[in-house]
Structure 1
Amino acid sequence: MRSFFFLHFSFHSLKLPNSENSADFEEDTYLDLHIFQAGKKLGKKICGVEDFDGSMQLVKEAYSDAAKEKTKKERSYDIDEALSFQHMEEAYRTGNLDLLDTINKVNSRSAAFDEKFLYKRNEIQANSIDSILKKGAALFVGVGAAHLPGERGVIEMLRKMGYTLRPIKMRERDSYHKDAIEKMRVPVQFAKQTSEDGFFSVNIPGKLYSFGKSYTGADMQQYADMMNGSYYMVTRLFTNAAIIGHDEALVERKIDSVLYENIPGKILTKKPIIKNGYKGFEITNRTRRGDFQRYNIFVTPFEILVFKMSGNGDYVKLGTEAAQFFNSIQLKEFKPEWKKFRPAHGGFEVEMPHEPLTIANENMVYGAYDAATKTAFEILRTDIHNYAFLEEDSFDLNLMEESFASSDFVQRQLSQQASMVNGYPALDVRYKFKDSSVALVRFLINGPRYYTLVAKSGTENRSMQQFVHSFQIKPFVYSDAKKETDTALFYTVKTPVALYKKQKLAMYPEGNFYGGYDGNDADDSLVDNGKYIDRIVSNDSTGEKIYVSFYKNSRYFYNTEKDKRSDSLDLDDEWVIRKKKIDTLADKTVVSEYEFGSKKSSRLLKAKGIEKNGFGYQLQTEIDTISAPSSFITGFFQSFTPVDTVKGIDIKKKKTDLFFSQLFSADTMLHKTALKNVHNVVMDSSDFSMLKKGIQFLGWKEKKYLDVKKDFIGKLSSMPTKAAADYLKELYYQAGDTLDLQYAALEVLLRQKTEYAYKTFAEIMENDPPVLDLNTSTASYARRGRFSMDAMDTSTDYNYMNGSFMDDLSDTLQLTAGIFKNLLPLINLNDYEQPVMDLAATLLDSSMIEAKAYEVY
């Protein structure tokens, strides 16, 4: 439950931010907006010389290109102080474009970044200006100063197009013109807007846009009147006051205590107001900069609402806009009439004293207050989706109770009783609160939805029982399903829930940040680890979610487990398979459907897998054993159809022929592709001769030669033959004093796990052990990905080589015991003393050797 500790921070977030560091040249607005406002106030037509989305895409590409660039300039600390970034501001203010251009070039670290971020945008801006002028229109245009100078700047581009350009200096009277324009007001048209839950309505000259939830949990919405430099804001802060025992008067006192600290500038007037029966404050203040602002703050049993208007100078004080805004505020009045309530999206039904206030934050909250009996009612729905395990119902119910009982307003528990409500597991608890009130609380589990019902009053009354016992789970209500296509995961489906939610435009590329990341090896794009993409399709109102994933195996993938179906399961004793259906279609597509349960849980994991030719899909969701799945879940699972454009591979066919043909190809790109994918190729003893040829084919000309050769040597671990062991011994001695290659040969010998390989290892260690660098950690990964229905996940096998070959002796102790006497003399070498002692202790603990085996040492 949210406490009033957050109230202070919520009001703090309402202040208009002003930077002290920029106060010496801070204007009422930034230059771009001033130009826009001047045009609007003078009745001019407004257009852009850059498309916003296109510009952001170019900026994103600029960061990405810079991260990949191999010839970035190193930062120099010998630059003339006059050309440092600190002097850029001065060049901008004085209009010195040549100096501005020089500073940019001297401090630039990436030509690739400048190409997209600066020069490509210069071309777009110049071409747009040219297009507008060719239509015969007079044009006043503002572009960033850095775009103007240089051979590839907007000025020179326009001159090359045949235009004549000359500078215009600021004159003394220009400031008077500026002041005159700022005093002009652009007329605005107000229209009524109503909140999503219908609790408030207000007239505003534009659409309210949500900021999303702030760090305090406040829901902030704003409309910015860019033409007049003003803004309108509505903020809702969930307090839960009726439940936690804070009456209206206490909430008002708490608000009053934080006003003077958090209202910017000086409060000029403050008076009490009442709107539709809700009390509050009306405040007028003037900021340090001289801007007038107005607030209306209202208190309800479950939240605080703050209506705010701000503008430059006396915009809020003069004119009729503020009056239109504040006088139009309407708050919903609830008539005290007990009735059944069911949300528009369904899910449950309950009797409440009036239609509840609905608050969607991290949980869904439905609150009502009966003023006659001073009883508060609340339904809290928390959605927690698990795709890997199902907890016992009793454990989760007790956890819910423990969490609620730890709230600051709870004094103690009075009674507790576990029950089943229409088949759903529940826990009924009575509490004494610290304000001397009592509460009836029911915790109930419905699949991934955890309900907490609270009825609280000074003394227990009949309406509290009426509320708790009237609660019933009902089906969700969805609109008609529509066919949608997911182009990223390659499927179509009929669903009432949109597959894609509108995303914020990102300026930075994922994983690449210019200046902080050097980018990957250019050849890394040749790595084929296959593809894995997942997404969650969800409905915010119902909380239902479906996890969807698509995978496509690497072209080098080969399934060595010929007798194991991809839909085979390996489940522990806690799981119960309640449904299993496997179909093989005419085109050899395997469709697997499962419902996994647990012995002490009312919940189910519903899963579906589709596999064909090395690619496939997984669908997962959590439901319950009592009620049928919703139309959304049922329809999604039934109508899910892969598109027919995805081409797979034959996973039953070895890919070593493909790999070696690329490795020995005269085509440089194919050769590089093979080097980058050796870890993806599954080999066996039949490939020994070709692998040996490949290792001999490698030379120092290869990029990262040592890493590449270690990867190739690592493939010998899957060839447990005498010939392979002998070749590893040969490679060891060929390596000379190159420790990385010596370690790799020894490690792979032990990975072969044959008696002959271990004896070969022992022979090397007896005659010519390498210097042991205990700090060495050269990691190499070999990966094979395969689809598994185990917990409906994609499994990955790793062959990890870290250069610490002595660690591998602990993996197969029976073989190690056979050569331990050959290794014991190494204890006399400082490098090997501790590893050999540790190995002896492991063998002794496992009863593989006796103490007398090393007494002499």
Structure 2
Amino acid sequence: MRKFLTPLCIFFIAFTFAQTKKYQSLLWEISGNGLSKKSYMYGTMHVSERVSYHLSDAFFTHLLQADFIANESEPSTWSDLNDLFGNQGFNFGSSKLYRSFYQKPMDKRALYRHFRNENFSMDNLLFRTNAFRKDYQEETYLDMFIYQTGKKYRKKTVGLEDAKESMALILNIDYEDQRPNEENMQKLAKLLKGKMPGEAMVDFYREKDLDMLDSLSIMSSPASYLENMLFKRNEIMTKSMDSIMKKGSLFAAVGAAHLPGNRGMIEMLRKKGYTVTPVFDDYTDKGKKAKKTIEELFIAPELKEFASEDQMIQVPAFSMVLPQGSDYNSPDLTNGGYLNIKRSPLWKALQKNKAISFEKTLDSLFFENIPGDILEKKLTQENGNWVYEIQNKTKTGNFQRHRFYVTPLEIISVSLVGTNTYATKLENQIFPKIQLAKPTNDWKKFTPYHQKFSIQTPNYQVVYGNRAPSAHPETITLLAHLPQDQSFYFLLEKISDDVYQLENTSFELHRIQEEFLLQYDVKNNKEIVDENSKMLWTKSEIYGQTTYLKTVVNGANYYLLGCVGCNESNAKNFLGSFQLTDSSALDSQNSLWKNDAGQYTIQIPKKQNEVYFLKESKKSQANGKSKKTNHFKSNQTNAVFTGTNGEKVHVWSYEYHPYEYEKSKDSILERFRKSFISSEISEETEIEGLTPEMIPDFLQAAEFASNTGQRGYYGSKKAGPIMSNWDKALNLENKETFGKKYQLVQEKKTEISNPEGLIYEAQLQHPDSENAIQIKWVITDGMHYTLKSLVPKNQPEKAGFAQQVMQSFQPLVFTKKQSLFEPKLSQFLEDIQSEHDSIRYSALQSARYLNIDKNEWQLVQEWINNWEEEEDALDAMEIILEKIAAISDKASLQLSSKIYLREDLPPSIQFAILKGLAKQKNKDACLLIRQLMLQDLPISDDASMIDQLFEIFEENIEYSALLMPAIFQFYSIPEYHEPILNFTKKLLENDKLTPKQLKSYQKMLLTNAKLEYKRVRSWKLGQQRSDYYDASDAPEVCSYLFGFMHLLEAFKKDKEVAVLWEKIRNLSIREVTIEMYALESKKGNVSKNWEKELLENPETQFAITYLMAKNKKLDISEIPGTEMDMAISAIYLFDLLEAEKVQMQFLEEKSKTVGNQKIRFFFFKGIKDNSEDIYYENFPILFSIGFVENSKGELQYQSFYSGLQKQLVDEDDLPWLMQEIMDKSIHENKKRTSFGKIKNNFGMMDGFYMD
């Protein structure tokens, strides 16, 4: 029977497809319903591949006869989308803000972009071709060909939909649910017959089989995608066609997928009363001739005068001009060509070699980088600018025309690109009319569009980022030139978006200048001209030129101004004229935006935040890979709103989970306040929507993510037991976190009634910062909101945008089944017993949100008494029982004990109870843990359960020490082996356990220690036989042995232990030796001969000296060897070097004052025997070690810093590499800082030609 059904089903499917095919053409005629003229609709593919050009004679006949030509949207309106999604790229959070001010002089590589006229935006708009497939593609995609035909034949071109409206539909597709249903997936597999979906789509289109295209779309796409991408747009476009066709004949080009199906445009038109029939015809010479005629037809475009915002360049351009950074693209939509303008600043004043000739360098690049053959090249001078005229012909037969300007401030290129002779037809209408601003010695006042400042500058200037009005506000870069003395002026503006950290403003003012000057070989020897809390004005010298710099910080806005080669008078005229101004009036016309998912409304500038208005706010529906859905969810949203001046307001919303319980609004507020003014929760954890229950998990995940494994044994301030107090000695601790110096001021609490809730407003301030974080926090019954913005401290008049937006914020009335301020256990218990699977499943998946109140104990006990184990509820029970056990109460102890000792209780639940008890952090709970483990020790094949339990023990050794030595008996159980060993080691290190307590386990420990010794010895022998020895492996290999050493050290008087101890000593592994010495010296029983031997060994000298000083066994003045010897020994240790395998050469000692302390660094050049890597073999490396000096001028070896190794490519870089290492040792915790000098892209070979 089964054998009969299978072929029958296949036949039925094939028969069904064959019988229902009714869309077998791409061209459709529309008539009837009162139309005076017939109209036509064609299904396109939006590509230039030839598969989309299987046309017909009828196609061209009806296209040329139509009164109206329609595309999905009118291409001339696509510039709106360019503005909508343009790049911002100017905001900096806490990361590397100061680096953004670096400006490297033009190098040869930066010139290459002026020869690359192809760019994504123009190709996507005009051509959609691929350089590697040109021979298999048409000149443009079919939709654009149809549009251009309409333009060339003076027809009315229209869009069937608004580009932004269609983009809104696309933005609102539910991208969280993009998997088709299983039934469709099975059908799709049969439909594809082994092909990829893209390949099948092309085949169906080539065959003009819209039925199969429709089936492919339906089966391969989820419902939300089809609804927004096809069906809703079909309705819009059909409605437009209905309107247009009544005015005249229409030829409409839409994607082929829009035509077929019950909700396709063909059927929609039929439902409106139109007769829609397929048109079949051949593609003969007639049609091919028509195509060629259309392609060759040139219609002179209308040109209009275009000027850059700074008026530096004026050029005739087409009607559409698309800005792209500092560049402009102007497409000729009718003829398929475009004008490209590129601008690149020279920063010539910062060039070290003044003999560089930019025009000669440019000339040297033409031969290799101008496509095809150069037909004409001419060099002239115009108003002091060098000008190159270039005409060329590509290998594909396309003529191009270029002009390159080398001005005192920038290189400008203007290129006219198109097919065939396009450029030759327009070049004389464009290039002779290009005008550039002429250099003068005049000055003028400059105020940017965003109105945040004004300044007097030389009249001859270049300004980037001053477009108005802009959907994506840019920061200003201003460059100016004064011909009379060849002086150079600049202003750089940056915006910080950091609403987590407040930095010392004085440090920032100086640091921005220091990092900037470092790039030009200027040491930190600037002369302060003027300084206040928000401004620093200095004088220095760059490559022999007098240089004045000024930094200004004002809320989110950072400025660096400078003049190079200017006299004092002009410096004052420029820098002294800089004035901050109020720009809040720009945002006076805000629009109301409603966040349905976040449950609030807010007034924001529409142009700068239009994506929010187009995209509907929806609650997340994602449910991972689970086939079931958790209907009980919390929900959080995060929005960043931009003002016209580029400043930001962050808004977080959090909808509480139905099971979350809070005691009061004030208790939530107090926790919120503490998150800012305490050092416990820093930037990474101050994430809106994290509930108190979720924070420990988040912290644990963050810690795990940053763990470097065994490499953590070593660091710049650590090597096993050798721990530096560098930060403490230099007072560098807690400078970059929300420490106790942060304070909340201007606090204001307001009760609200609709909805009922509480509003809290404040400024987060730091005494050393002139900035502040403006905060507004709102709590209602079921929601909380946080608004933040970086603003000037105590200057509300300069925080206009933040003030406006925050004041307009309004939470919506939000109703929940049960109040946030009511305990939820009863509701949870009711839900898990529900007859509805969806409710029960959702409840079990939400157990972690429960907060169990002591007042619910009777309910808890009743539930526990009636609780029966159910497999699907196991995870939820673990969570709940851990929460119960964590409550510090006698009833909790009794209940936890009762549950734990149930017969055949799953181990996961036992572990959950033990973890909960451990979290109580008190004596009674730890004693109960010991009792329960002794009565019934849980075992699991999941090692993480045991590891997690012992991690909690190690976090609370004050009380968990009570577990020992009782639970040490479980050490012999393999699953408990390593956790107990590590736990015991920590207790011994902290004097929470005495060796005497472990005496009864000595024999078992010795047996296992011998085995571990053999493993390590085997590894050591294998390394000795190997050609390459990696010393960095030792900490990981020996870590387990370290644990045994800690446990056995007290039993060395035992003969067997003593023998093993000496064997371990004789391994001669540096890390083992140091660990052993640390253990013995702590107890004061180190052999003097061995100690002397280690002090004379350069690989251990520093570590032993450190430990002797730590244990106060040695006065600093009695330390053997010189400071140089100690420095080399420290480098051997921290850089994982073997003395006999590295050639070390002392280079220099450098010192620096930090606060009232002095640090001294020793620098060495070494060559490592690194035979494993041929490339780096015999490659010189810079090694370094630094120490803090005491008041006597002696090195404090307990205060050290090991700098990162630096490869020495160029000996000339040594001074800057040394400075970088020392700088990093002081400021590495400051997140906005960068270190070192950025090399020229070409190193020593910058590729420039000299005069």
Q: What range is the shorter-chain TM-score in? A: 0.7 to 0.9
Q: Does 1:443 align with 2:551?
A: yes
Segments of structure 2 that go 5 or more residues without pairing to the other structure are 1-102, 124-128, 467-473, 680-738, 1002-1251
- How many corresponding residue pairs? 810
CA deviations over 1:439-496 (Å, ceiling 9, x no partner): 2333344444333232222xx634444346624433234436235323226667777x
Residues 535 and 553, structure 2, Cα contact 8 Å, conserved in 1 = yes
- Aligned equivalent of 2:150, options 39, 42, 48: 39
Distance 1:38 1:350, change over 3 A: closer
The AA in structure 1 aligned to 2:297 is M
CA distance in 1: counterparts of 2:182 and 2:117, whole angstroms: 46
Residues 210 and 221, structure 1, Cα contact 8 Å, conserved in 2 = yes
Shift of 1:231: 1.7
Task: Identify the structure with bigger relative contact order (alpha carbons < 8 Å, sequence gap 6+).
Answer: 2
Shift of 1:154: 6.5
CA distance in 1: counterparts of 2:248 and 2:549, whole angstroms: 71
Q: Does 1:808 align with 2:952?
A: yes
Given the two structures, how large is their TM-score scaled by the length of structure 1?
0.81
CA deviations over 1:143-187 (Å, ceiling 9, x no partner): 445566788876788789753324222123321111111122234
Q: Does 1:683 align with 2:786?
A: no
SS for the counterpart of 1:831 is helix
CA deviations over 1:389-430 (Å, ceiling 9, x no partner): 3322342233223311222xx244494234644654415131
Distance 1:288 1:376, change over 3 A: same
Query: Which stretch of the first structure deviates more once superposed, 646-655 or 819-828?
Result: 646-655
Q: Does 1:171 align with 2:171?
A: no
Q: Does 1:426 align with 2:536?
A: yes
CA deviations over 1:542-572 (Å, ceiling 9, x no partner): x544444444444443334787572545346
CA distance in 2: counterparts of 1:389 and 1:94, whole angstroms: 59
**2:526 corresponding residue in structure 1:** 416
CA distance in 1: counterparts of 2:333 and 2:294, whole angstroms: 14
The AA in structure 2 aligned to 1:428 is T
Identity of aligned residues (%): 20
Shift of 1:373: 1.0
**1:710 corresponding residue in structure 2:** 878
**2:1029 corresponding residue in structure 1:** none
**2:983 corresponding residue in structure 1:** 839
Query: Which stretch of the first structure deviates more once superposed, 745-754 or 814-823?
Result: 745-754
- Aligned equivalent of 1:485, options 577, 580, 592: 592
The AA in structure 2 aligned to 1:848 is K
CA distance in 2: counterparts of 1:710 and 1:753, whole angstroms: 20
**1:466 corresponding residue in structure 2:** 572
CA distance in 2: counterparts of 1:275 and 1:809, whole angstroms: 80
The AA in structure 1 aligned to 2:996 is K
**2:510 corresponding residue in structure 1:** 398
Residues 493 and 636, structure 1, Cα contact 8 Å, conserved in 2 = no
CA deviations over 1:731-787 (Å, ceiling 9, x no partner): 55668485434433433343345655544433443344233446447xxxxxxxxxx
Segments of structure 1 that go 5 or more residues without pairing to the other structure are 214-218, 778-801
Q: Does 1:369 align with 2:481?
A: yes
CA distance in 1: counterparts of 2:244 and 2:556, whole angstroms: 61
CA distance in 1: counterparts of 2:284 and 2:781, whole angstroms: 74
CA deviations over 1:610-651 (Å, ceiling 9, x no partner): 444454544433344597742624752784452564568855
CA distance in 2: counterparts of 1:162 and 1:625, whole angstroms: 70
CA distance in 1: counterparts of 2:261 and 2:600, whole angstroms: 50
- Aligned equivalent of 1:19, options 116, 125, 130: 130
Residues 562 and 575, structure 2, Cα contact 8 Å, conserved in 1 = no
Residues 69 and 112, structure 1, Cα contact 8 Å, conserved in 2 = no
Distance 1:116 1:59, change over 3 A: farther
SS for the counterpart of 1:269 is strand
**2:297 corresponding residue in structure 1:** 184
**1:780 corresponding residue in structure 2:** none
**1:244 corresponding residue in structure 2:** 351
**1:208 corresponding residue in structure 2:** 321
SS for the counterpart of 2:484 is coil
CA deviations over 1:8-38 (Å, ceiling 9, x no partner): 4422542367635423421111112112222
Residues 58 and 116, structure 1, Cα contact 8 Å, conserved in 2 = no
The AA in structure 1 aligned to 2:442 is E
**1:781 corresponding residue in structure 2:** none
Larger Rg: 2
CA deviations over 1:555-602 (Å, ceiling 9, x no partner): 443334787572545346663648433243474754444344433333
**1:455 corresponding residue in structure 2:** 563
Query: Which stretch of the first structure deviates more once superposed, 646-655 or 27-36?
Result: 646-655
Aligned 1:205-354 pairs, distance under 5 A? 205-211=318-324, 213=325, 219-244=326-351, 250-273=357-380, 278-318=385-425, 321-343=426-448, 345-354=450-459
Residues 638 and 650, structure 2, Cα contact 8 Å, conserved in 1 = no
- Aligned equivalent of 1:747, options 915, 927, 930: 915
Residues 68 and 522, structure 1, Cα contact 8 Å, conserved in 2 = no
Q: Does 1:3 align with 2:105?
A: yes
Shift of 1:133: 9.2
Residues 363 and 383, structure 1, Cα contact 8 Å, conserved in 2 = yes
Aligned 1:609-648 pairs, distance under 5 A? 609-613=777-781, 615-624=783-792, 629-630=797-798, 632-633=800-801, 635-636=803-804, 639-642=807-810, 645=813
Instruction: Looking at secondary structure, tell me which structure has more helix per residue.
Output: 2
Distance 1:737 1:261, change over 3 A: farther
Shift of 1:826: 0.5
**1:786 corresponding residue in structure 2:** none
SS for the counterpart of 2:285 is coil
Distance 1:762 1:382, change over 3 A: same
SS for the counterpart of 2:489 is strand
Residues 453 and 578, structure 2, Cα contact 8 Å, conserved in 1 = yes
**2:1048 corresponding residue in structure 1:** none
Distance 1:68 1:645, change over 3 A: farther
CA distance in 2: counterparts of 1:114 and 1:415, whole angstroms: 62
CA deviations over 1:24-69 (Å, ceiling 9, x no partner): 4211111121122223333444445566556553586375442485
CA distance in 1: counterparts of 2:249 and 2:532, whole angstroms: 74
**1:581 corresponding residue in structure 2:** 747
CA distance in 2: counterparts of 1:414 and 1:832, whole angstroms: 57
The AA in structure 2 aligned to 1:300 is T
- Aligned equivalent of 1:818, options 942, 949, 962: 962
SS for the counterpart of 1:455 is strand
Distance 1:308 1:772, change over 3 A: same
SS for the counterpart of 1:714 is helix
CA distance in 2: counterparts of 1:582 and 1:90, whole angstroms: 64
CA distance in 2: counterparts of 1:560 and 1:327, whole angstroms: 77
Query: Which stretch of the first structure deviates more once superposed, 639-648 or 32-41?
Result: 639-648
CA distance in 1: counterparts of 2:502 and 2:416, whole angstroms: 50
Query: Which stretch of the first structure deviates more once superposed, 716-725 or 691-700?
Result: 691-700
SS for the counterpart of 1:501 is helix
- Aligned equivalent of 2:822, options 653, 666, 669: 653
Shift of 1:534: 3.6
Distance 1:803 1:593, change over 3 A: same
The AA in structure 2 aligned to 1:7 is A
Distance 1:767 1:425, change over 3 A: same
SS for the counterpart of 1:352 is strand
SS for the counterpart of 1:804 is helix
- Aligned equivalent of 2:581, options 472, 475, 480: 475
Query: Which stretch of the first structure deviates more once superposed, 220-229 or 114-123?
Result: 114-123
